Amino acid sequence: MTITRRTFSAFAIGALAAPAIIRPARAAPQPVTVASLLGEDKPETLIWRRIGEIVEERLPGRFAFRVAANAVLGGEREVAEGVRLGSVQASLSTVSALSSWVPEAQLLDLPFLFDGAEHLARVTQGETGTELRERLAAQDFVAPAFINYGARHLLTKTPVTRPEELRGLRIRVIQSPLHTQLWSGYGAQPTAIPIPETYNALSTGVVDAMDLTKSAYAGFRLYEVVPCLTETAHIWASGVVYYSAAFWSGLTAEEQDVLEEASAEGARFFDEAIVADEARSMEQAAGGGAQVFEPEERDAWVAGARPVWEALADTVGGMESIEAVRAQA
């Protein structure tokens, strides 16, 4: 779904609905600092090259996108704080990383809730997505489009195919109550660690396991330290293309329109690129010694995650909201 300024302005910051800002033409392109966690060949960076191209086609010479790749500006949380402060103008983020500001976004992270990418897309492009964008805007995150990073899978040093085998393992998690509770429920010991620090944490034994998408698994070369990937697909890692409210409120109505359209097009590009990148990533991982395993006793995996739904129901809008999402499968 392409988000127009008319629909978006209903929930974005107040400045978005204000009359267009009239100002003289810029003598030079306005710099736009963009943070990317991964390298130039990964969808997380390529999407911004694409968005920049679209914007340049429609507003020649107006903006200069400066993409800081390979997490040089920090992990997701650090970047999000920079976006709120306005020192970073744009980035991508998983909804997990933004749940500290918008707890309701954890609805999209509930384990074993989504059947696949199409199910997730129906939810984020519908009423649920609109409501979450409103809540993000209230926290100074202007999010014109959702993206899909792919499913999260379990990564371990030795094969883990049954949930009871997690008992006692130290597992790296996102700084999110949902993720902490999920792995605690299986008997693991969660430790919140920023994604750029996970390789060292795994290699030195600070943690024994983690979960991540296939694309990022190869992007961070984690197969070198956790060579076993169990295809649990327990969470579909949804995210957003988002901008700093401070940056956004200084744009003209025309500029906002173009960036919204470019972000929506970029999101579609990203989702397609992720699918292709996952295949390449797993070839790379296999070449580096990775092994892929199917989870056993899937009903036990699902049952172990169900208490997370119950514990977070009040936070994400009640069990009726969860069941409404489930019904869209």
SS (H, E, C) 167-202: CCCEEEECCCHHHHHHHHHCCCEEEECCHHHHHHHH
Average pLDDT over residues 35-56: 96
pLDDT category of residue 177 using cuts at 50, 70 and 90: confident
- pLDDT tens sequence across 226-284: 999 999 999 999 999 999 999 999 999 999 999 999 999 999 999 999 999 999 999 99
Q: Which amino acid is at 228?
A: C
Average pLDDT over residues 149-170: 97
Complete domains list, the chain, with CATH: 5-315 (3.40.190.170)
Average pLDDT over residues 97-117: 95
Average pLDDT over residues 98-125: 95
- pLDDT tens sequence across 180-223: 999 999 999 999 999 999 999 999 999 999 999 999 999 999 99
The first and second tokens of residue 73, run together, are 């500006």
**Alpha carbons 259 and 32: distance in angstroms, whole number:** 12
- pLDDT tens sequence across 134-157: 999 999 999 999 999 999 999 999
pLDDT at residue 19 greater than cutoff 60: no
Structure pTM? Answer: 0.83
215 Cβ contact partners less than 8 Å away, ≥ 6 residues apart: 42, 43, 149, 150, 274, 277, 278, 281
